[in-house]
Every structure is written in C-alpha cells, then in structure tokens.
Structure 1
C-alpha cells in the first residue's frame, strides 16, 4: 500500500484544504526522503541569492526585496540576509490558498518567525493580514526596510525583535500583539535548520500560539535527522499535518521543500500522549 494513503487526511485550523496527519517524525522523514528524494533536486529553484534585489510577482504587484548576499557568504548562520525557496513556496501558497477561499488571511493577526528579508510577511500583509514580522536584533533593519518599501499603504506590517527560547523577554511590540489573545496565524520559513535550535523554536511557538492559532511552517529538506527531531518534539504539544504539493501554487512547487501545519493540542490530548 502507498504509505501516503495510510495517513488520514484532515482539516486543520484556519486552513480549509486537506492536510495529511503526521504520525511520527521517523515515518514522516522516511516518507519525505523516499518519495520526494530532495537531494536529487537542485536548490534555489526560485530564489536568486546572488542578486542585490529579489523580484517576485504576488498579490497583483511586483515585490522587490533587498538582499545582502555578501553578508550571507561571509558569516555562518546569517540566513536572513537572502531569500530562500521555502519563503517563496510559503508566500505563494498563502496567496493561492487565500484566492481559493481555503485560508482566511484577511483581517487575521499573523506573526512571522525568522522573517528574514520579509517575503512571507509582505505577501501576508498584502493579502489583508495584520502582520508582525520578527527576527534577531541584528536583522530587523533590512526586514523593516523591505516591508516599508513593499507593503506601505497596501497593508499592515510591523517589525519586532525576537530571540527564540524561554529565557528572553518578549519585545513590547510582540507582547501587544498577543493581547487580548494569541494571533490567528504564525508563519515561518526555513526555521527548522539545526537540532540545537529545535528546543528554542518550540518554546517560542508555545509562548506565541494559542488554541485558535494555526501555525504554517515551510522548510527545505536538507537533513532528515533535524526534521525528525523537530517533528517528534513538536508532536508533544501540537497536532501536526503536512500540506501536500497538490495544494500549493501550481507554479511554485519543489521536492526540496515541505509545508507543515501545527495546531496546539488540548491539555487532555497532551496527557494521552504522555501516559504510558
């Protein structure tokens, strides 16, 4: 039997399309790497990381994002200096799902984690969401500039500093965003990149997401161990599903990227998982 058919299809959170339920980190990574074979597909199918500005058409207009390719090449871990394929895929998925009436974006409050150059934030804002784009303190300057130039009066996008983990105070701008209740959407592209960062990312997701929050994460399939680690850890607190490529924008699909959807578990569901 095809392993995809063994996993039930469900509707999760604000997304009205089908998602395949993730049963375990091991089975999901085995499925992704066996069927998609990401290593055999070229990276940067859509991203152009050598350009000083990255152009893309979305929401009926041309978006043009400043990049810093020299910073990206010169320092380890400076991923927010350029646009990645996962951001392009997620941004166009949001547009496609909203246009199809499958995702309620307009009027929703959204927090973008590790927003980088701001592509996902810009598209979400142009679709009508009230977006708070977040990143590390040394990366928000480029992020703010890109959102000011590409969103402007066409949408609502603010910027806040955010260091992942429990041991950091939240930016006052973000604290205001969490009142009177958590945001309807949490977005993230390429935020699952190392085992060391998984714990801090999940701690941040648990602080920001509420029972009515839909989390959409797109990531490049570079390392199966990292993806498995994240999924297993996430399933302790969240219901996890995978949005298959058939639901993505038809012109922006690549076997090197996966989109996961997370919904916070109720307390009784978490107790069932922890029970022997």
Structure 2
C-alpha cells in the first residue's frame, strides 16, 4: 500500500486524484491510504521525530511492505519516517520537500516566521489567513480547493507550524546516505529553491532518482497532474515488483 502525506494547510482529500490514478495504474492496481496529518496533533505536541516513530509503528501494524509518498510538509515528514524505520519502507516518492537548514541563524529565523503563521492560523479571520497563505510566491500557479473546511482543524494547523517547522528540523542531508530504498524525488523546474535542495538530496541518496517536471512550480501533483501520476505510478509499480 502507498501511504500518502499531504502538505501544510492541506487535507487528505487533496490527494484523492492521486489515489484514484494509482488505483487505475497499469499493470496492477496500487492502493493508497490518504492520511489526515492533523490527527497526530489533536491531543498534544508531536515533534518531528516522535511523529516519525508513531507513523512507522502505525503502518507496521497494518502493512508489511509499505510505500510512502509525501508532498512538501508531507515530504519532510516522510523523510523522517524513512530515517526512523529504514527497514520498514519499500520505496518512497518525495515531492517539493526540504531536507533542512544547516545554518542555526536561519533555523531560528524560520521558527520565528512559523510562530507568526501559527498565531495567524489560530487568531486571524480564517479567510484572511487562507488568502495570505495562498499569496506566497512559492505557491503561485494553482490554488487548492476547499480550504475553508480546514477551519475545524485550525488548532492542529497552528501547532504544526510550531512542532513541524522547518526551523525545528535537523538538517537531514548528511543522513540521506543511510536510506537504501529506492526514492523518487520530484520537483518543478520553476521551483528554484526546492530544485537546488532536490539536486543535493539525490546526489546524497544511494538509490535516488530525480525528476524535474517542466513548466511547473511547487505544487507539482496538481499543476502537472497527469505527468506526476505517470511518474509516481511507474515508479511504485517498478519498486513494488522488486520485492
């Protein structure tokens, strides 16, 4: 089964079309479990490493050959899960994700910025928060629907900016050499910052494959859905058949 992790200020329905495409994939159907990340933040703080251990434990109870797909925030969470339990995961697709900041000053600055986002998610009028979030240049190109339904999860979303901040994350680049499973890293050609991250990550991965999607920004699975679904489907089919 493919376990899929959505992005920041997102929900599991964002990956419905991905799940449908994988299920219709040839030569064999691939089942996808779309996880609601906010459930992990519903009761208490959940640091990145604790999330990774919890997710891997949850998956191991239900699946003895899981595959993993994570987009953006979900990609960072996926990397933590892979590093937490490298023998569990069969393969992974990482999309538009960051490996971490090496500069302590940059990490502190990012934590400050994310604390501001947390406050806005918790206290601002919800529509204003969504408009400001979508207005970021990195998200230009496509707007995901149904963000208003996330108001019910605003407490958990606010907590995610704190617990799962890029500033709270270790720089994982030097640890990627420990991951022996096949990993497909997908990034848009117009997503310049994340393209540089992807190139460094794939150079460090023993079994990494980089796919740069043309005419595309950060939201690859929606900006170029057909291309992404074909890349992911072929990769998951191939790596599934190798076991």
TM-score w.r.t. the length of structure 1 is 0.31
Kindly indicate which of the two structures has a greater share of residues assigned to helix. 2
More strand by share: 1
Give the structure-2-normalised TM-score.
0.34
